């Protein structure tokens, strides 16, 4: 009888534990451990690493967990991968290239470094030849390794290192990309090299623009790798919500009108709605003064919270589509609450209206409906007005959001090489 009671007690305990963990997503031990680390070291410090196999010729790679911080200077743990040429570092050091990935989702298992073979060329879910349910990999990595660069790719905070992911909040995602450079440098892989470039697509394109205008954060001392000199920024189909916000809109009724407009604009189909609602969900993690029920109905907020804590982008979108069809639009409140606080938070989270620290080049397709190219046009006009050097390149043909990375790659590779080589660059701002 005593044995039976012990068995029953053990089963009850097991059931309780399983119930308590029912909402958790499964991640590999590296990420389970990373989520328990206290980020009490300087930003850029690597707190954990493990080797990763790679088929890139002449390269070696690691998963890493490193210290970063969000837009309000709260320290976080970000994960990612570092890929470097094998062999001794040259006397002059190596440049560092930081990749900022596009939307993968918000759950803890959505970080691209968690793929079985993450250290490879970009592998896109939507494209013929894609081999996974999500995007992962690093575009142009083979070229960069051949040229002797160190490549680092952040997952961003919340996609493997614990905490709520601040999806599409550029000033947080941009800091993750900056601190990824510091992390790679702190590992000794760059030697004396201090030159760096950040390139990114979609969500990552917004992170690129946001990082470019964080002069004080870039020049901060006391990091794990001080003195990094960013010589260029490459944004592929970037988002910039600040570009859609006119001066004064953050106040009163105009703020309500803006939120209503955004809700309508990005609920034309379930895929765009997933991007929009995921961004709003993430905003509450970065800005505790906001509530998801300010924007969505109580039932809608509960559903979205359950989806985005458990599922990555495409699975989340499919879940909404399967269960709610066209009725997902009813999740949005007709009259948003706390509108001014939401709009002010969007401004705080997006690209600062300060000139970038180095030249910026933007690539876009005319058929991009996910990230309207007008945002890049407004960004260029604003930054050029401040004396910056910002180039926009319209890709040949009718490129959409998902064909942008591959179409732009042969164009930005020599641009990156030239920036590291210190070659002169013409001003890309319009003359009129």
Residue 54 confidence class, pLDDT cut points 50, 70, 90: very high
Whether 24 is covered by a domain: the verdict is: no
Residue 19 is predicted with a pLDDT of: 31
Write down which residue in 294, 327, 347 finishes a domain: 347
| Domain interval for residue 253 | 245-347
Residue 165, domain member (yes or no): yes
| Residue after which a domain boundary falls, among 295, 324, 347 | 347
Within this chain, do residues 403 and 323 fall inside the same structural domain, yes or no? no
pLDDT per residue over 358-385, tens digit each?
999 999 999 998 999 999 999 999 999 9
The reply to whether 58 and 114 lie within a common domain is: yes
pLDDT digits (tens, 9 = 90+) for 348-361: 999 999 999 999 99
**What is the spatial distance between Cα 132 and Cα 122, in angstroms, rounded to a whole number?**
11
Say if residue 208's pLDDT is above 90. yes
Whether 271 and 131 share a structural domain: no
280 in any annotated domain: yes
Q: Are residues 180 and 124 part of one domain?
A: yes
For residues 181 and 110, membership in a common domain is answered with yes
**Domain co-membership, 208 together with 339:** no
**Where does the pLDDT of residue 251 fall: very low under 50, low under 70, confident under 90, or very high at 90 and above?**
low
Residues 264 and 370 in one domain: no
pLDDT at 241: 85
Whether residue 22 is contained in a domain is answered as no
Say yes or no: 92 and 132 in one domain.
Answer: yes
Q: Is 21 contained in some domain? A: no
Indicate if 152 and 299 belong to the same structural domain.
no
Do 280 and 361 belong together in one domain?
Answer: no
Nearest alpha-carbon partner for 304 in 277, 338, 323: 277
pLDDT of residue 389: 98
- Say whether pLDDT at 311 is over 80: yes
- pLDDT tens-digit series, residues 382-391: 999 999 999 9
Instruction: Tell me the backbone φ, ψ of residue 326, rounded to 5 degrees.
Output: -75, -10
For residue 86, tell me if it sits in a domain. yes
Whether 230 and 250 map to the same domain: the answer is no
Smallest CA-to-CA distance from 154 within 193, 96, 195 is with 96
List the single range of 13-22, 184-193, 211-220, 269-278 with lowest mean pLDDT.
13-22
Q: How far apart are CA 345 and CA 341, in angstroms?
A: 6
Is it the case that residue 334 has pLDDT exceeding 70?
A: yes
Contact 379, 390 (CB under 8 A): yes
Q: Does some domain include residue 1?
A: no
From the list 194, 139, 203, the residue with the least C-alpha distance to 172 is: 203
How sure is the predictor about 248, in pLDDT bands with cuts at 50, 70 and 90?
low
Count how many domains the chain has.
Answer: 2
The per-residue pLDDT for range 215-228, each reduced to its tens digit, is: 999 999 999 999 99
Measured CA to CA, the distance from residue 123 to residue 117 in angstroms comes to 10
Torsional sign, CA 102, 106, 112, 113: positive
Provide the pLDDT confidence category of residue 243 given band limits of 50, 70 and 90: confident
Of 212, 104, 261, whose CA–CA distance to 167 is shortest?
104
Residues 219 and 327 in one domain: no
User: Quick one: pLDDT at residue 211?
Assistant: 98
**What average pLDDT does range 398-426 have in this prediction?**
97
252 band by pLDDT with thresholds 50, 70 and 90: low
In this structure, is residue 190 part of a structural domain?
yes
Of the three residues 347, 376, 392, the one that is the final residue of a domain is: 347
CATH number at residue 36: 3.40.50.1820
């Amino acid at each position: 009888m005593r044995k039976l009671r012990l068995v029953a007690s053990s089963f009850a305990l097991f059931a309780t534990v399983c119930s308590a963990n029912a909402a958790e997503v499964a991640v590999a031990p590296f990420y389970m451990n990373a989520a328990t680390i206290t980020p009490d070291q300087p930003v850029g410090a690597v707190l954990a690493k493990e080797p990763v196999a790679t088929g890139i010729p002449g390269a070696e790679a690691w998963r890493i967990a490193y210290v970063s911080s969000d837009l309000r200077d709260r320290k976080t743990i970000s994960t990612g991968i570092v890929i470097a040429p094998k062999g001794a570092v040259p006397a002059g050091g190596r440049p560092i290239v930081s990749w900022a990935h596009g939307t993968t989702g918000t759950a803890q298992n959505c970080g691209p470094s968690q793929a079985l073979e993450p250290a490879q060329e970009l592998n896109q879910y939507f494209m013929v030849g894609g081999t996974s349910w999500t995007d992962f990999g690093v575009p142009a990595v083979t070229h960069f390794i051949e040229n002797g660069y160190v490549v680092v790719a952040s997952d961003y905070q919340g996609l493997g290192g614990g905490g709520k992911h601040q999806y599409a909040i550029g000033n947080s995602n941009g800091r993750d990309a900056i601190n990824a450079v510091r992390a790679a440098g702190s590992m000794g892989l760059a030697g004396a090299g201090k030159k760096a470039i950040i390139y990114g697509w979609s969500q990552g394109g917004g992170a690129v623009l946001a990082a470019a205008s964080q002069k004080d954060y870039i020049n901060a001392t006391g990091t794990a790798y001080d003195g990094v000199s960013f010589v260029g920024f490459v944004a592929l189909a970037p988002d910039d919500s600040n570009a859609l916000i006119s001066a004064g809109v953050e106040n009163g009724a105009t703020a309500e009108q803006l939120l209503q407009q955004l809700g309508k604009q990005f609920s034309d189909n379930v895929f765009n709605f997933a991007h929009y609602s995921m961004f709003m969900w993430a905003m509450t993690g970065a800005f505790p003064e906001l509530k998801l029920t300010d924007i969505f109905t109580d039932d809608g907020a509960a559903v979205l919270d359950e989806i985005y804590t458990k599922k990555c982008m495409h699975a989340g979108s499919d879940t909404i589509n399967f269960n709610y069809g066209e009725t997902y639009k009813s999740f949005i409140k007709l009259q948003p609450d706390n509108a001014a606080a939401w709009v002010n938070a969007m401004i705080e989270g997006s690209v600062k209206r300060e000139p970038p620290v180095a030249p910026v080049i933007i690539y876009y397709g005319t058929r991009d409906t996910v990230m309207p190219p007008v945002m890049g046009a407004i960004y260029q006009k604003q930054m050029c007005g401040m004396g910056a050097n910002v180039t926009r390149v319209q890709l040949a043909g009718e490129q959409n959001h998902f064909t942008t990375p591959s179409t732009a790659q042969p164009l930005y590779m020599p641009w990156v090489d030239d920036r590291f080589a210190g070659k002169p660059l013409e001003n890309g701002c319009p003359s009129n």
